[in-house]
Amino acid sequence: MSIKKYIPNTITCFSLISGCVASVMALNGDLLLAVVWIIIAAVFDFCDGFAARMLKAYSAIGKELDSLSDMVSFGVAPGMVLFWLLCQVSPVLPLGSLNEYIPYLAFVIPVFSGLRLAKFNIDERQTTSFIGLPVPAHALFWASAGYSVLPIIHVNECIFALAAIILSFVTSLLLVSEIPMFSLKIKSLSWKGNELRYILVVCAILFVALWGFLGISGTILLYIVLSIFNRNR
């Protein structure tokens, strides 16, 4: 019995485990490890698809497992990052008894991530590119931004909470938007046809070198801008 057909699904399970660990780290307030484990989940998520293509080990269960894994790693985990951050500032907000419910607004991230994944599974237009922001990119944005702003969340709790909640709804709507997003898969190494991908990679290296983990969030924002530019070109 050949074991190669089980390799992609095994890698997907590692991505799922990484997402579970990231969620626990986030709820424990260790946002650095939450970011690291979400990045690890993203690496596994890339590798499972690569392994499936290389080994020609496609399966219906693999497709469903991948979506379920993504829901945890890139939906629940970043939602827990924002939930923990809002828990830190909600007690001092001027909303009285409503304060304790504010952190639950972070669940907009897993809800819209689930909608995005369900939409992707039935949308035949997204075979070579994406319609709407991919959930791994959204998760990386929130995990890296959440960790990066941690030192300043108590400078003004009201402004932070308002900005975080508004931004979470805006980015969540991008998940289910009709904005075309280019894929990062490179079929050849030539410049032509890969201009946006190379620009994004170079800028990502520069951003991370300059700003650390916050550079990941900057890269995701640039990805959105480049995709919109490519759409209107």
Following DSSP, what letter does each residue of the chain receive, concatenated? ---GGGHHHHHHHHHHHHHHHHHHHHHTT-HHHHHHHHHHHHHHHHHHHHHHHHHT---HHHHHHHHHHHHIIIIIHHHHHHHHHHHHHGGGSTTGGGGGGGGGGGGHHHHHHHHHHHHHHH-TT-SSSEES--HHHHHHHHHHHHHHHGGGTTT-HHHHHHHHHHHHHHHHHHHTS--EE-----S---STT-HHHHHHHHHHHHHHHHHTTHHHHHHHHHHHHHHHHHHH-
Cβ-in-10-Å burial (0-12, 13-18, 19+) of 176 comes to middle
**What is the reported pLDDT for 233?**
62
Domain ranges of the chain: 4-179
Does 39 or 4 have the greater pLDDT score?
39
**What is the reported pLDDT for 190?**
73
Does 61 or 137 have the greater pLDDT score?
137
| pTM for the predicted model, two decimal places | 0.91
CATH of region 4-179, choose from 1.20.58.340, 3.40.50.970, 3.30.70.20, 1.20.120.1760: 1.20.120.1760
Averaged pLDDT for residues 87-116: 94
pLDDT at 219 over 90: yes
Give the mean pLDDT of the chain.
90
**What is the reported pLDDT for 191?**
72
